[in-house]
Every structure is written in C-alpha cells, then in structure tokens.
Amino acid sequence: MNKMTPRVRFAPSPTGFLHVGGARTALFNWLYARHFEGTFILRIEDTDTSRNTPQALSVIFDNLKWLGLDWDEGPMPDGKTLGQFGPYFQSQRKEIYTDYCNRLIAQGFAYIKDEAVYFKMPRKRIIVPDIICGDIYFDCTLEKDFVIRRKDGSFVFHLVNVVDDAEMKISHVIRGEDHLSNTPKHIALFEALGMTPPLYAHIPLILNPGGTKMSKRDKGSSVQEYIDEGFLPKAFRNYLCLLGWSLKENREIFDIEEAIAKFDLPQIHRSNARFNYPKLLWINSEYMHSLPLDELYPHAFFWLEKAGLIDNNTDPSFLKKAIGIVREKVKTGKELVHWIKPLLTDSIEYEDEIFQQYLDDNGKKILAEVIPYLEKISSFESKELEETIKDLALKRGRKTADYIHRLRVALTGRTVGPSLYPMLAVLGKNRVLNRLYKVVFLKE
C-alpha cells in the first residue's frame, strides 16, 4: 500500500444527529491521519438545503469535540476556517462545481437532457482497488448514465464528492461499505477529468443487535444518546475502535495513543461489526473504575451539578472521596448520581418496607448500641471503624451483619451501596452521628 502522507476527510451532512457509524468513520480517518502524521479534514456536505440546520452542524462540532477528534482543516465552531483548500462547506462551492460540470460537457463526457446534466457512464468493467476489501470488479456495461446536476441547478453527490476530493487533494477515501456501489461512478468521473482517483478503503457496516444495518431510526444510533447517558468519551471512543478493528493482543481496553501507534487500514476486518451495548457498558464501567480520580472528577462534577446535588460551594476534598468509594459500583455518569446521592444530602428517604425490616424498634435498639462506640472513636478511619464494630458484635453476642446492614440503611436509606467502613470514614463522624441520632431518637 502506498504510504504517502495521507490527506483524509470526514464529510457529514448537517441534517440531524451524528450517527454512531459516522462517528466510527470519523475516528478511523482520524486514526489513520494521526498514525502517518497526515491531515484530517472536516468537510460539510450541506447541499441538501431543505434538511440542513444550524443545530445539526453544532451537534457535529460538539460530538467530534466530545470524542476528542480534532481536525486540521475545515470549519471551526467559532466561524473561522483552518486550511487553504476551502470553502469546506459544499453550499459555498457552487462556482467550482459549475466549472467542472461545464468541463465535462465541453469534453463530451456529459450532456444536457431535459434541463438536467447527465454523466456518460463508460460501458466497461471498472476495478475498484480497495485497501480493505481487495480488488472488486464492477460490470458497468449496462450501467445507465446518471444525473450530476439537477434541473434546479443543484449538484448531485457524485460530482461534488469527486470534485471536492480532487480539489482538496484527498489521498485516501475511508468510508462505509454502503458507499462501495458508488465508487465505480466516482472512479469514472475522476478518469473523465483526467485525474488519478484517491485510494479507497470501505469499512464494514455497523449492525444493530438484530443483525441489520444500524439506521438512524434505531435506538442507540446517535452519539448524543451516549453523551446524555453519561458515558465517558475515552470509553466510547475505545469501543468504536473495536467496531471493525482490534489491537490483536487479546485486549479490548487500550488508550488512544496505542490505537494511533498501531492503526492501519489493511488490519480492518472484512466482516460487519455488530453493536454490542453490554460490551460498551462494560468498557465504560472499567474506565469509571480505573481512571485517575482527578481525571474522572470533572465528569462526575458535571453530572452531580446537573442533578442539583452539588454546587461550587461543595467541598472538593469530600466530593472526591465520595466519588472514589462509589465509582466501583457504577457504569455511567447517570448511575453515579443515583449511587452518590445519599452521601451528599442529609435528607434521607426511607421506603416503608425497608424501614420496617431494618429500623423497627429492635433495629433502633441495635443501632443505639453502636452510637457510644462511634462517639469514642477519634480518627474515624476505615480500619478502626471495622475493628470497633467487630468488637461491639463480640461483646453483645451479635453478628457484625446485624450492625452493618442497619447502619447502611440508617445512613443512606439503601440496602446496597459502597463498602460500609470506607463510607463511614468519608461521611465523617459528625454526619454519621447526626444521621444516627435522627433515626434512633427522632424518626417515628
């Protein structure tokens, strides 16, 4: 394969949300450019004026930024432009397309019929040399001529795609396999213009859990859905890498630097990739558990602030400790809110059934035995707390579980949660005792 310094592009249409398949295409282009120290270009295919919206363009910018996919050329969210091959909006390139269209007509490769312009498809066998799929032969002897400019003067995808790739000096076209049937037409257009086509690499489709192509109507097909669920961008990006590619090290979790170092097009799988939500959830939970706490903190802060559980006055030290003991239990930012809530508010809600099971008169009596022991502890650290409860259980002839379960319910209203002793240590002596006093002496 030609190892020229690549110029690759991602060319979305701003007509809705960013599809998971589009995000994976952008990622593979980005990885290829970064691996070979090439150029990653963002080009906006906005010729469908009836469906384009500024909001959809903002979503493309925001989602790519969330994924960490920076581009070297193209429009920027602030209205500026990077690169010297613009405009990077197809809607601003009509004069360029007109010139190429007129050139094809003048040279006899296109003709006008019923006010539209048709390209004369060569009646021959066309070979698509594909880096992933190998050489693919298309018999175009019966292929019909196709429209490149409509009656209303607007230009069709086939022409603008080829012209933009030529003008922007695209070296490799990395796109979904669903575009493979378009490629013979594009090669024919390049040849008619006297230009060498870029190298093509068609990546496998992403299938939904049912085994059919993931469409925009499928639940979970939008990148924004995963942002809204509280997935970590690193984890989501890691999972996208696995949809058609792998490190070949029997390892599914890796950082982006490893992917950049090892990514290449011939390694991409031929078979379609099935989107596996449970695996994505598992990968995200692994990142939630293992990221350095300082790195996880901004993500957690965003979700907790959004839920109204914290504000800028919240003690960062306490919050970090709370996140630290809860994150082993959670898979997403949204789940983090549910699990950490009892640690951040003194207004504990108790379900009647749970309250009656653990905090009835006998339960309060058992908790009342704990309070004097907790009052005497000076350091209130996890190890000393554990030793204290075990010592109490031994003296009272009880199981430690008799205290552990009731303490958890009294302090959080929940029967499950982070390990009890670290949780007591994070809550601190004052919070723990205040909550216990309230349950044992005040709550009816």
Active site residues: 216
Q: How many CA atoms lie within 13 A of 160 on its CB side?
A: 23
The tokens 């000096």 sit on which residue?
A: 169
Kindly report the length of the chain: 444
- Tell me the three state secondary structure of residue 211: coil
- Chain centroid offset of residue 426 CA: 32
Q: What angle do CA 6, 7, 11 make, to 5 degrees?
A: 135
Q: What six digits make up the tokens of 440?
A: 């044992």
Q: Does 365 belong to an annotated binding site? A: no
- Tell me the three state secondary structure of residue 173: strand
Instruction: List Cα–Cα distances, 388 to 168, 310, 356, 401, 428, in angstroms.
Output: 71, 32, 26, 13, 15
For residue 158, the surrounding DSSP H or E stretch is: helix 157-167
Nearest CA-CA partner of 109 in 164, 151, 158 = 158
Q: What angle do CA 357, 402, 411 make, to 5 degrees?
A: 70
Q: Give a three-class secondary structure readout of 382-408.
A: HHHHHHHHHHHHHHHCCCHHHHHHHHH
- Tell me the three state secondary structure of residue 148: strand
Q: What six digits make up the tokens of 142?
A: 């019966």
The β-bridge partners of 19 are: 222
DSSP assignment of 74-112 equals: EE-TTS-EESSS---BGGG-HHHHHHHHHHHHHTTSEEE
The tokens 């630290």 sit on which residue?
A: 324
Handedness of CA 169, 173, 175, 178 (dihedral sign): positive
Nearest CA-CA partner of 15 in 82, 91, 81 = 91
Cα(389)–Cα(398) distance, rounded to whole angstroms? 10
Q: Which amino acid is at 125?
A: R
Q: What is the DSSP letter of 267?
A: G
Residues sharing a CB contact under 8 Å with residue 278, sequence separation 6 or more, in sequence order: none
- Chain centroid offset of residue 220 CA: 11
Annotated binding-site ranges for ATP: 216
